[in-house]
Structures are given as structure tokens and as C-alpha cells.
Amino acid sequence: MTSKPAVILHTQNGAAAKKTVETSHPDLSVHVCESYTRLPELISDTGAEVVYSVRFAGSDSFPKKALVQSDTVKWVSIGGSGTDHLGQWDADWLTVTNAAGVAADMMAEYVLGMMLAFSLDLRGFMRAQAAHEWGKGKVTPIKGRTALILGLGHTGQAVAARCKAMGMNVLGVRAQPKDTEHVDQVYGMADLPDLWNRADYVIVCVPLLDSTRGLVNRQALHAMKPETVLIDVSRGGVVEEGSLIEALTSRSISGAGLDVFASEPLPQDHPLWNLSNVAITPHCSSVFEGWEMSSVEMFTKNLARYRQGRPLRNIVNPKRGY
């Protein structure tokens, strides 16, 4: 750690991010990189010690080796919450932090919106409107229904607060169970087989880890009630897409609101596009006006701690993935 580290802002909003950082750290050498391919060369040219990075063009071509195998980079500040696109890193050499919590409220509103979209059958009404059809309407209250939240981090807790505000019963699952505000009952991951059939809404908020990959699999989906709606705001890979398509096609679950996918952008010929009981959004549940500047401000405050030799906030354990 040096008091005046060279800093790279790896983001497509480079000018705004640089202005924010330089306002608080005018003495630092701050560089902007707005592409994946340019990052390795810029790290080499500048000897960057600190990199703030946003996964702005998907995971497949993300330049993770440039970050986790660099001879100079000692701290990578991820602009979002997920770090699976980095792979593994040596925590004795490299510190990785994330911006967990910066989009929790927006993601919780997204989840609530999805629940209401299904309970009010908004998609059905929109199809009828497009066809100029005055059919029979059916709306269902979510009050009294049960939400099962997988993952009770910042986002899961924000979801729980909104579910309770709507009069729902809230069940939650976390790696280390403990009493959590707005959650009626908290369980461990091993308890999931007994929980699937209790939920009207299953909300997936866990990070993508070895322990969560395929967590929502064929067995889990077939254990759910036919009325269940699955809402996924985690990472592609937590839900087995093939098994989900099977469950949705056979109507063994009612529907799904999906913001994340194993392959992004979702291929045009993917079968999920054609299912009438699916709502698809382009990994945007955490993308709201001003989100990245909030993330950059969080980084800027952490950068002050770094320069002062104080412990960083939101350090990610590579073995846990959060």
C-alpha cells in the first residue's frame, strides 16, 4: 500500500467517475479505461496499484487475469456486488472489495414489482389490451402469501422489508442462520428441501459460488407448488435453466421473473423467450439512474481508508465469494 497509488477507473462512465474521485483525491494519478481489451496494457503502462472495475460488457471476455495476476495491482474494487467473474485470487497479495448494498433497495423494488406483475396478471391484461379484448380479469393479493428468500445479504434483507410491508409471511435462508429483521423464520441451506413447497414466491438473491451453482435444480423446482413464482436477481448459474424451462413448460410452477441468465445477452433463439409465463429483463434490476456514481462514491471513501492504512470496507473472501 502506498499513500499515492496509481488508480484506474475501468468503467464506461469514465469521465464522471474520474471527476468524482479527483474531487476527493486531487493529488492522485487517475486513469480511465473504457474497454476490456485495453485494461492489461494500461495496468502495465501505469503500474496501477488500485483498479475500480465494472463488469460492463458481460463476463465471458472480462480481463480477469489482468487484475488477479498483476504484479502491481493490490486492490480491485468491484463496482457491483458479484465477484464470480474474477474467478479466484490470492488474498495474501490481492484485496477485492465490492459495492454490496449500493443497489439493494432498487433490486428489492424490482422483486416487489415482479411479484405484483404476476399476482395482478399484468402480462395477461397487456396481451388482451393489444388484442382489443375485454376478457375476464383475475387479480390475486400477495398479502398472506409466503415468500422464500434465498440469501439474506443486503438485497435479501431489503426484499424481506418490502414483503413484510405487504403483509406477507417471510422465510429466509442464509449460510449462517441468525435472527434477521423482517424475516419470520431463518433457516440454513440444508433445510431447503423442506421449504420449497411452503413458498408462493421464491426469490433468489445468493451470489454464484460453488455451493450455490445449480441450487435451484430439477428436484427443487418439482418440489415447489404449482402456484409458485420464481424470481431470480442473483447470477446466471444458480438456477438450472434447462430444469426451469421444463418446470415452466409443464406448469409445475406458475411462472418466473428472470433478470439473470447463464449466457448474457440471452441468445435470440433461447426457448425462454417463447414462454408466456416468463418475464425477462436484461440484467437491469440493479441498474438505476445514479447507481454507478453511488458506487464510485463508495469506492472514493474506501480509497481514503486505503491511503490511510485503515481496514477497507466490503472485503470479499475468495473462498466464500462474498
Catalytic residue positions, numbered: 235, 264, 283
Cβ contact 174:195 at 8 Å = no
Q: 3-class SS at 315?
A: strand
User: What type of residue is 287?
Assistant: V
By DSSP bridging, strand 201-204 and strand 229-232 are parallel
**Which residues are bridge partners to 8 per DSSP?**
31, 51
Count the alpha carbons within 13 Å of 320 in the hemisphere toward its beta carbon.
Answer: 10
- Phi-psi map region of 189: left, alpha, beta (phi>0 left; psi -120 to 50 alpha): alpha
